[in-house]
Structure 1
């Protein structure tokens, strides 16, 4: 098999994917027309072009970048939250999720645990029930029609208050059959995960899995990683999202290994603003240390259409990983995912068959 043939045949699990970050320009345009949402673009083509020209820096850290007229140029989070404005009805959330699940099926993704940002919708007046019903219907249809199984992870926005996180958590509890885990994402600048300890303690008591983003190159990221690994929810999170800077501190590597904690890495999300050598040498370092890292896509619609297959190809090329090691990445994923045992056994059997082929 060629490398591309191998990657296509490789059965995949994706554990770090923001469903709102999969909103394609074409779907965003269609939903805007349907819901009478005025966009800052006069055509679908202009909207699509805007996805390619946004800046990748962090606004709070580096300040605004201005165009020749003195107008701030959108950065990633501007585009990400701007796209949400078009999501209004239950069918909008269904269409958003099914567009991703269809893409996932084409990449041989068999199971995924997408994030969704409940506050990004409730603060716009969208009812919790609308979000949950659309996502759940898509989850059911993807499993039966596309053979893509999934579980949803509900994230809180760390640039909103801990009180808002708790309020939205309690509002979502009647729909706990829809989601299986709680996460923390959005702008991490001066927003340590410890601020949200009450809601994570509550979620753990209520039986949910817990996880948290620790953004790469962010202020105080090593302290954030240490809290997530050792203390979040009382005893440490069940998984670590991003956290690549752990490779810089031997004590963090040891703490992650001692808890056999999995990590969800998104190589292109870092590579689009950091050097090839730094990103992939640290991915490789964590892998060689025996940590159960996985490769995922993050927000592919807003990150140059780099989906999980493209992220795996980057890792294979630049780490570099052999085919045997690429199989190990998927074994890591099945080990740390929160799917049922029957799926895990089937998936491991499929990986073994590919290895022997």
Structure 2
């Protein structure tokens, strides 16, 4: 956390980006490839669902009960260290996951999952997101007694209703702090939903949980023709090792995409291999501001971009990251990486090329991108 941007500065920067009123970035057709649907659970929606389900919202570790919406909103901004601890990277992860998984408790019924997905779809459609592939964490729900079918039926209904404004497919993630056996059970459960789920991913706490712990289920996914990806979190102690496993070995072939993984910019050989395999990287720069030095984050993104590695910019967990959504992340990289409009158009094209949509959907987005660039070139 040392040298990471403090909360007050992040909030000031967020407002500065909004005030920039960058019409070009707003108009660009966007593809979001790195967002956790459970990470879009806003305080307002969480409060609504808790009331509907007759739940009391509280922080289990401290016993704090949230008696009004304002208290709950404030909790999203204040992720404090445990007593006697400094808030280093490990502590920041602890407090983030505590907040993130704490939000799962209000997701109980099909209607709850519908509302969660629909809230996200409506929000980002207003930012010109044309296609998205949200991650979801079914183990975080089934271990609470929620049926897999309940989750998927809610998501399906939202997906169908939203498709007039944007298209979507889903990426099912395994929680790496649960067992490979649990991952295999979860994989079997998703098979009836092949029409919805296009890819398999891996997320949650990465410490001492390398990607190849889950190799058997990834091999099965590869053989069943799912696309595969995995998180390699920024600043992890085994970052380069984990990136190499994802790029070279996962599913016996190496993954199709790499989520996070900007530590690759420190190693020319890893970058060469990523580029050689044509692997795209999904980056979420606002999240990195919370625990990495600013003067390391954006030079690394620039190195990857200048090397010709495909990059897609996403929002990760926007509700828990100062309410910063994909538009804010795009504006952030434009400012901090000193990207031109042409560079931003190239990022938009990379995201379209990297996504796992149908050729028809991708071609339509490419046509729209050309039209937007032409309009702003006049």
Residue correspondence of structure 1 range 168-247 to structure 2 within 5 A: 168-247=186-265
1:176, distance to aligned residue in structure 2 (A) = 2.0
Question: What is the SS of the residue equivalent to 1:107?
Answer: coil
The partner residue of 1:92 within 112, 118, 123 is: 112
The partner residue of 1:42 within 67, 71, 74 is: 67
Following TM superposition, where does structure 1 have runs of at least 4 consecutive aligned residues deviating by more than 3 angstroms? 55-65
Cα distance in 2, alignment partners of residues 74 and 42 from structure 1: 24
Assess if the C-alpha contact under 8 Å between 1:182 and 1:208 holds in 2. Answer: yes
Residue correspondence of structure 1 range 58-69 to structure 2 within 5 A: none
Aligned to 1:259: 277
Cα distance in 2, alignment partners of residues 321 and 60 from structure 1: 32
What CA deviation, in whole Å up to 9, does each residue of 1:38-95 have, x standing for no partner? 2121111100100010159999976659xxxxxxx97111010000010000010000
Assess if the C-alpha contact under 8 Å between 1:55 and 1:76 holds in 2. Answer: no
> Is 2:163 aligned against 1:138?
no
Runs of 5+ unmatched residues, structure 1: 66-72
Evaluate the alpha carbon distance shift between residue 189 and residue 337 of structure 1 in structure 2; reply closer, same or farther with a 3 A threshold.
same
The partner residue of 2:175 within 147, 150, 157 is: 157
Aligned to 1:75: 95
Aligned to 2:8: none
> Is 2:283 aligned against 1:274?
no
TM-score (norm 2): 0.89
Structure ranking higher on relative contact order (CA contacts 8 Å, 6+ apart): 2
Cα RMSD for the two superposed structures = 1.9
Evaluate the alpha carbon distance shift between residue 54 and residue 180 of structure 1 in structure 2; reply closer, same or farther with a 3 A threshold.
same
Cα distance in 1, alignment partners of residues 307 and 359 from structure 2: 27
What CA deviation, in whole Å up to 9, does each residue of 1:116-137 have, x standing for no partner? 0010000000000000111111
The partner residue of 1:290 within 294, 304, 308 is: 308
1:150, distance to aligned residue in structure 2 (A) = 0.4
The partner residue of 2:33 within 6, 12, 15 is: 15
